Amino acid sequence: MQFVDFARAHGLIVNHIEVDRWVSTPTEDKPRSSNGRYRYLGSVGWVQNWAVMDRPAIWFADGKNKDSPDVKKSIDKSATDRKERARKAAAKAGWIMHQTVLDTHPYLAKKGFPNECGNIWEKDGKKLLVIPMRIGRTLVGIQTISEEGEKKFLYGQTSKNAIFTFDALGMPIFCEGYATALSIREVMRATNIKYTIHVCFSASNMQHVAGAIRDGLIIADNDPNGVGVGVAEKTGHPYWISNTVGEDFNDYHKRVGTFKASQSLKKMLIKT
């Protein structure tokens, strides 16, 4: 199998291959986001779809394997490069966070929260919503969201195990997106139940984060390809999911309102 076919088989949308650099791409399941990435070195390559993979899949050219001398050299170099990229991304994330100001944002308004303030970073005349991503207390990267809803991570950052948390010292609740977390927070306040909401940024990372915590509730996206419910089931935790394909909890919240959404979620909380 050629590398471009390998990338497409993992859901990446690619038309041509660039050499010796990590390249971000849209994916079949998230065509508006840069949820895919690849690196091609001729005899070996890596691809990753963030929605469903917590680590890259590796490809070998015909006649090559992990023990081939040139492949081993490329793998070792890639590991060293990955650590350096992660270090630089963490430093850049810290620099960006220091440039942000608290303000409202059009994306949040579209999601039903016109008065919600977030970290706003102005770049090239555009205002980006910035979500810090941490492992423990360590800042490892950020997610930026444009006014149109385009989501990006910093090049090379560590995203596995990275989360953003709304902590009200209560039950762990796991979700993929920031807007979904805002809807959960509003609904939980309406139920007067304490919560700790973990924004995991992707289904694959949610599976990893939630799987390491004993208790909790999954708020799954009802993806047309079934990824959300599949990941929720793999965690072993109880989960909430909309009965409408294509909806996440924020979509559901906007459609039915806080009272009905709170009643729906409260039923799951009672079972947990």
Domain ranges for the chain: 3-65, 86-158, 163-272
Distance of alpha carbon 204 from alpha carbon 137, whole angstroms: 21
Q: What is the pLDDT of residue 22?
A: 87
Distance of alpha carbon 51 from alpha carbon 54, whole angstroms: 8
Distance of alpha carbon 126 from alpha carbon 196, whole angstroms: 32
Give the HSE-up count for residue 144: Cα atoms under 13 Å, Cβ half-sphere. 20
The CATH number given to 163-272 is 3.40.1360.10
For residue 254, give the 3-state DSSP assignment. helix
pTM of the shown model: 0.83
Percent helix, strand, coil in the chain (nearest 5)?
35, 25, 40
Which residues does the chain have with pLDDT short of 50? none
Number of other CB atoms surrounding residue 3 within 10 Å: 20
Q: Which residues pair with 171 in a beta bridge?
A: 195
**pLDDT tens for each residue of 188-218:** 999 989 999 999 999 989 999 998 998 999 9
